[in-house]
């Protein structure tokens, strides 16, 4: 039984790595059952047994490529939290890594940006959860003037658009400052105007309190729900 399980695991790894190589070399169209089977040294039926269809295989490849990247982001986030790194500096560094990842892995980036795929993509979901955690740190520090979900959406939309434009531009003509310029534009929209050491305005204060409201054990469950409802009303009202 152990040998069977090991063989299945080995086959899965070989198939995913073969498909990832074909994806890098020729895009999704290059990831054919025959091509993957030949490169992985397996029979084609093994691909269907393990992944169901081509979409299942492509999702596994996206997760495989994202795994190391996300692991690094999570490790960096833990280190940043432990070392009390400013959450804004942490977000800036994460943004640059995300842009670099998209440019280095264009085929995987396009898979993760496909509207028909992203809703059911575990890889895309994990990446968004990492961003949500970083934005939450900003909110808890009183740095946001918009609700957390809106901030996450704005950052993600700007990041996807930036990478798409850069990928559509010949490397020698790419604006190397575009990524930083886009991020600064986004930060101007979502951040409180107050510096970190200054008192935050009412909206930023409400966003910060909303970030920690679920953990306020001094309040009963109904009281917490009411407080969250009030804070959501404040943060979602146009400034």
Q: What is the pLDDT of residue 141?
A: 87
- pLDDT tens digit at each of 239 positions of the chain: 434 433 667 888 899 999 988 988 888 888 889 999 999 999 989 999 999 888 888 888 888 877 767 665 555 555 555 556 799 999 999 999 999 989 988 988 888 888 877 777 777 888 888 899 999 999 988 899 899 999 999 999 999 999 999 999 999 999 999 999 999 999 999 998 755 554 456 777 788 788 878 888 888 888 888 888 888 888 777 65
The pLDDT assigned to 190 comes to 94
User: Would you kindly state where each structural domain of the chain is located, as residue ranges?
Assistant: 1-52, 54-236
Number of H-type helices and E-type strands within the chain: 12, 0
Q: Which fold is adopted by the domain 1-52? A: Arc Repressor Mutant, subunit A (1.10.10)
- pLDDT for residue 5: 37
| Predicted local distance difference test score (pLDDT) of residue 6 | 39
Give this prediction's pTM.
Answer: 0.70
Tell me yes or no: is domain 54-236 CATH 1.10.357. Answer: yes
Q: What is the pLDDT of residue 149?
A: 93
10 Å CB burial of residue 168 (0-12, 13-18, 19+) is exposed
Contact (Cβ atoms closer than 8 angstroms) between residue 196 and residue 143: yes
197-227 in b/e form (b: 16+ CB < 10 A) is eeebeebbbbbbbbbebeeeeeeeeeebeeb
Question: Tell me, what's the pLDDT at 1?
Answer: 40
Cβ contacts of 98 within 8 Å, gap of 6 or more: 159, 163
Q: What pLDDT shows up at residue 3?
A: 41
């Amino acid at each position: 039984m152990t040998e069977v399980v090991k063989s299945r695991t080995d086959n899965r790894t070989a198939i995913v790595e073969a498909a990832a190589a074909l994806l890098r070399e020729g895009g999704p169209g290059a990831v054919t059952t025959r091509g993957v089977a030949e490169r992985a040294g397996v029979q084609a039926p093994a691909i269907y047994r393990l992944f169901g269809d081509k979409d299942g295989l492509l999702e596994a490849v996206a997760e495989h490529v994202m795994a190391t990247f996300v692991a690094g982001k999570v490790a960096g986030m833990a280190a940043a939290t432990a070392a009390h790194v400013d959450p804004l500096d942490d977000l800036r560094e994460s943004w640059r890594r995300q842009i670099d990842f998209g440019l280095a892995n264009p085929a995987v980036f396009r898979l993760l940006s496909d509207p028909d795929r992203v809703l059911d993509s575990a890889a895309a979901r994990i990446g968004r959860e990492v961003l949500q955690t970083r934005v939450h740190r900003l909110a808890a520090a009183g740095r946001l003037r918009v609700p957390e979900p809106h901030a996450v959406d704005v950052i993600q939309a700007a990041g996807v658009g930036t990478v798409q434009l850069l990928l559509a531009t010949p490397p020698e003509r790419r604006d190397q400052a575009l990524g930083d310029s886009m991020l600064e534009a986004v930060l101007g929209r979502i951040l409180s105007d107050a510096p970190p050491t200054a008192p935050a305005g009412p909206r930023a204060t409400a966003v910060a309190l909303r970030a920690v409201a679920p953990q306020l054990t001094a309040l009963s469950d109904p009281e917490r729900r009411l407080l969250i409802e009030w804070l959501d009303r404040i943060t979602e009202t146009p400034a």
